Structure 1
Amino acid sequence: MMAIHRVFISYHHDKDQWAKEYLLKLNDKNNIFIDGSIDIGDIDETLPDKIIREKIRDEYLKDTTVTILLVGVETKNRKHIDWELYSSMYDGKKNKKSGILVIQLPSINPKYITAAHGTEEKKHIYPSIQNWISIDSREEFEKRYPYLPDRIIDNLLKMESKISVVKWSELTADSLRLLIELTFNDRENCKYDMSRPMRKSNS
């Protein structure tokens, strides 16, 4: 029996709220995770950026162990999403680092996946795939994943970051539960690349 983990869902609130609501409905029916993410209106957008970053880190992310990033067409350009990813990767005394799972939404028409959690993920999530290839080129990652935030691409280039990238269309309650469990189990061994400065604005 897998444990139930506290999850932070990072997403574009204006464009992709439907996806978060779907995950929460799936969770209500199947008891997959505990939702620790931010809802629309939880944080006053008129606050200074420094205060918003602190609230994300200290009030929401501190009790979560897995961050799910929902990727739509405008996700990569949002400063709050970059802050959430940075804070998820940061391993502090009070707020420990989380594992990160990337889910590609139908709006970006995803063609590729990345299975970072070894044999168990490949065997149970992708049993029909027999041949896997490794990629170590930023150019190739950006070509395959044009909508992923730069901070995620930075870390796909590091095998030690252990970030899986999946398609929304292939998710089921069982596969989501396993992916969260594998992401949780590998989180302490993740060695993230945090060298990129945090975004100062949307683009």
Structure 2
Amino acid sequence: MHKTFISYHHANEQDLKDDIVKKGVTGGEFLDKSVEDGDIEIDLSEDTIMKKIKKDFLEDASVVIVLIGEETANRPYVNSEIQTALWGDNRCGLIGVVRDEVYDKIYETTVCKHSECNCGIYLNSPTNTFEDKIPYLINKNHFILGDGESTAPHFNNSEAYCSIYKYTTFFNNMEMYIDEAFNKKDKNFPVIKRNSADTATI
């Protein structure tokens, strides 16, 4: 297994993080540390902040799990940790893990009626809430081709650089999904590595 860093909103997703660490993974390790208020000076340049996060928190990580709840997308430390995970030559595998009740808000079940496919399979289609709840770099790297837009009618989670899973789905098979993210990081490339100008960073 792999050394895995958990990025999360401490006030809202501590319960999910604690359950993941308590369960553990065979042959792997969760790096039990994360950026908190006061750890990094806020007036530093973006590159300096990423260097500090990489050195002090993510240096040993090969996979980053981002726990996503109601307010995660707007948390500056979380957004900076995600950006750092994708930064440089030694990038991390990335997984978005969404709290169950939030997952049920961001996806709805539809049927494929795409003109190039029309296969009729059931799909998880993003709702209008998806953009508000999913951190920018998780969202933009949940595609398989193109510059932030998939050219395929639909795709499997395993094909995207960053997979997005419901918390209970992930929790029930953590080792498989962590291993999947690790294996993809050197085969695929992130679509976007930097937060947008209007996305909060430290």
Q: TM-score, normalised by structure 2?
A: 0.71
Q: 1:181 to 1:47 in 2, by over 3 A?
A: closer
Considering fraction of residues, name the structure with more helix: 1
Write the distance in 2 (CA, Å) between the matches of 1:83 and 1:149.
11
1:8 Cα deviation after fit: 0.7
Residue 184 of structure 2 is matched in structure 1 by 186
For the pair 1:48 / 2:45, whether they are aligned, the reply is no
Cross-structure match for 1:153: 139
Partner of 1:82: helix, strand, or coil?
helix
Pick from 50, 61, 65: which aligns with 2:62? 65
Partner residue of 1:127? none
Number of the residue aligned with 2:95? 101
2:129 matches 1:131: no
**What's the counterpart of residue 175 of structure 2?**
177
Equivalent residues in 2 for 1:2-151, closer than 5 Å: 4-27=1-24, 30-31=25-26, 33-39=28-34, 43=36, 45=38, 47-49=40-42, 50=44, 53-92=50-89, 96-110=90-104, 112=107, 131=121, 140=126, 143-144=129-130, 146-151=132-137
Letter in 2 for 1:48: E
Equivalent position amino acid for 1:14 in 2:
A
How many residue pairs get matched? 171
- Residue 164 of structure 2 is matched in structure 1 by 165
Task: Specify whether residues 142 and 191 from structure 1 end up closer, same or farther in structure 2 by C-alpha distance, changes over 3 A only.
Answer: farther
| Residue-by-residue CA offset, 1:40-93 (whole Å, 9 max, x unaligned) | xx755164123654332112212111000100000000111111111111123x
CA distance in 1, matches of 2:139, 2:29: 27
| C-alpha distance in 2 between matches for 1:109 and 1:46 | 31
Q: CA deviation at 1:22?
A: 0.4
Deviation at 1:196, TM superposition (A): 3.4
Rate the CA distance shift 1:69–1:46 in 2: closer, same or farther, 3 A: closer
**CA spacing shift, 1:200–1:164, aligned 2, 3 Å:** closer
User: What is the alpha-carbon distance in structure 1 between the residues aligned to residue 21 and residue 75 of structure 2?
Assistant: 22
Partners of 1:47 and 1:97 in 2: CA distance: 21
Secondary structure at 1:80 match in 2: helix
The code of the aligned residue for 1:86 comes to Q
- Quote the Cα distance in structure 2 between the aligned partners of 1:145 and 1:61: 26
Q: Which residue of 1 aligns with 2:117?
A: none
Equivalent-residue separation in structure 2 for 1:190 and 1:132 (angstroms): 26
> Per-residue deviation at 1:104?
0.6
More deviation in 47-56 or 62-71? 47-56
TM-score, normalized by length of structure 1? 0.70
Q: CA deviation at 1:189?
A: 2.2
Query: CA separation in 1, counterparts of 2:200 and 2:181?
Result: 28
Amino acid at match of 2:14: Q
Identity of aligned residues (%): 22
